[in-house]
Structure 1
């Protein structure tokens, strides 16, 4: 097993890297912002992931600091197109997906440890990890407001099937528990919240008994089978679908309405039970 001290990596601002035995953790460390994926955090995440391909333990883990794993993209920085430019918007969205494809292509097994909440773009990240361990009471799902389309749920489809992916996409703010995520096939195991990290570290300990080059080829062989079924092609298509919808009049009107009523009110309206009239 190759190991390095934490000093071998840069000192990051919005993430931190912890080497604990056979696993090197990338910790999303912006708890005051619900670990929302800002531009700086995403850049740091990509940098750490690339460096850990050649340093650290034989297994990479990803977890969140604080009350939850991650609330998704920071809507002020990453989650909103800055101008009406479909090409730039598509490039922006593709850049996000490519960060997560780097997990898929990483030479080491990557395990996500999910507790609390895991929303929107954070679920994209977990789709591409090799294993996902969740807290039984975790809340996992779509953005609270339908401002995009074809960006989150299509990446779920290879794991959960088309009908469940559509259920996720068609109900605004749809959320499932960690237990349901396992039943659907999105996650591997659901355990009590205080056992998530220990479970991942125990699995990493067992994985580390296998030589790293063997682990790498085992991962590659399964990925190749999935890619033969079109997983990478599907991932490449999601930025176009989302960029297309960002230009639609209905989404423009929805953004204007949110600006008028405020984010909290808008979310509450979409989460009302069926049959309740908007106020």
Structure 2
């Protein structure tokens, strides 16, 4: 049964459906871009769901995709939002705060499943990395930002899941992406399913998980997290804000931000768009 949550938000929705409480990114007109306002609501809902809702939390996006990543209108401006040029300390604090929102998923007492359809790009992939289980559609597009003005903020968080070589391949090519089946092959996701089965599959998985008592689930999650942290998972996440804040002051990145301001998002993307490297194919060269 679908039960609406008593707490209301503008940029997300919370729906309780049996064993699972869905936290739904609800900015479909903006490709579910992760604005500061949406992320504030996300963090609030996540905290409320510690003591409310079902034994399992699901995260998905409304509309055509999961999320296109951080709202470029807020994070891509030149010297305005967060005083990116003048105040690297404020920039670092902002970047760290975003990661801390996802660390709260990692530390949450309930299992969290990310259900990805359509597209899951840039900062949205960080959210999925910190989910306990990720289920994607076969045709999902999962990838890096097209405009390469970030440094070590996205791909380093992929390393514990896919390894350093695959993370580097993703990071080195602007806008690089993989599909759902490849995401499972690489270890980024658990399962890849047909688009029309995504919600039913995740809700079925939640029902099976919910057969285990909540206190047992909590300790199972904690013990597995500790094993992952012994391998460096938490420390890797703690370093990404520093790397990205450092690069935001580089002349080449400031130039890209200026191009974005001058040309607009669509025209700026054209400067860097290329085919993904998976599967790897040669570039067709124009005869001389």
| TM-score category, normalised to shorter length | over 0.9
> Judging changes above 3 Å, is the alpha-carbon distance between structure 1 residues 47 and 79 closer, same or farther for their aligned structure 2 residues?
farther
| Counterpart position of 2:145 | 143
Q: Name the CA distance, whole Å, in 1 between partners of 2:261 and 2:5.
A: 45
Q: Which of 57, 62, 76 is the equivalent residue of 1:60?
A: 57
Q: Name the CA distance, whole Å, in 2 between partners of 1:145 and 1:7.
A: 37
Q: Which of 61, 70, 73 is the equivalent residue of 2:70?
A: 73
1:30 offset after TM fit, Å? 0.8
Asked whether 1:270 is paired with 2:272, we answer yes
**Normalised by the size of structure 1, how large is the TM-score?**
0.94
| Counterpart position of 2:243 | 241
**Normalised by the size of structure 2, how large is the TM-score?**
0.91
Q: What secondary structure sits across from 1:125 in the alignment?
A: helix
Q: Which of 159, 164, 167 is the equivalent residue of 2:166?
A: 164
| Counterpart position of 2:82 | 82
Deviations 1:103-139 (A, max 9, x none): 0000000000000000011000000000000000000
1:5 offset after TM fit, Å? 5.7
Q: Name the CA distance, whole Å, in 2 between partners of 1:179 and 1:4.
A: 30
For the 8 Å contact 1:138–1:178, the answer to whether it is kept is yes
Q: What secondary structure sits across from 2:226 in the alignment?
A: helix
1:187 offset after TM fit, Å? 0.3
> Judging changes above 3 Å, is the alpha-carbon distance between structure 1 residues 185 and 79 closer, same or farther for their aligned structure 2 residues?
farther
1:226 offset after TM fit, Å? 0.6
| Counterpart position of 2:8 | 11
Q: Name the CA distance, whole Å, in 2 between partners of 1:175 and 1:7.
A: 35
1:144 offset after TM fit, Å? 0.8
1:253 offset after TM fit, Å? 1.4
Q: What secondary structure sits across from 1:149 in the alignment?
A: coil
| Counterpart position of 1:33 | 30
Q: Which of 229, 233, 253 is the equivalent residue of 2:231?
A: 229
Q: Give the CA RMSD over aligned residues.
A: 1.8
For the 8 Å contact 1:37–1:78, the answer to whether it is kept is no
Q: What secondary structure sits across from 1:77 in the alignment?
A: helix
Q: Which of 32, 44, 54 is the equivalent residue of 1:47?
A: 44
For the 8 Å contact 1:141–1:173, the answer to whether it is kept is yes
For the 8 Å contact 1:172–1:270, the answer to whether it is kept is yes
Task: Give unpaired runs (5+ residues) of structure 1.
Answer: none
1:82 offset after TM fit, Å? 3.3
Q: Which of 255, 261, 264 is the equivalent residue of 2:263?
A: 261
1:269 offset after TM fit, Å? 2.2
Q: Name the CA distance, whole Å, in 1 between partners of 2:74 and 2:285.
A: 33
Aligned length: 274
Query: Greater shift after overlay, 263-272 or 69-78?
Result: 263-272
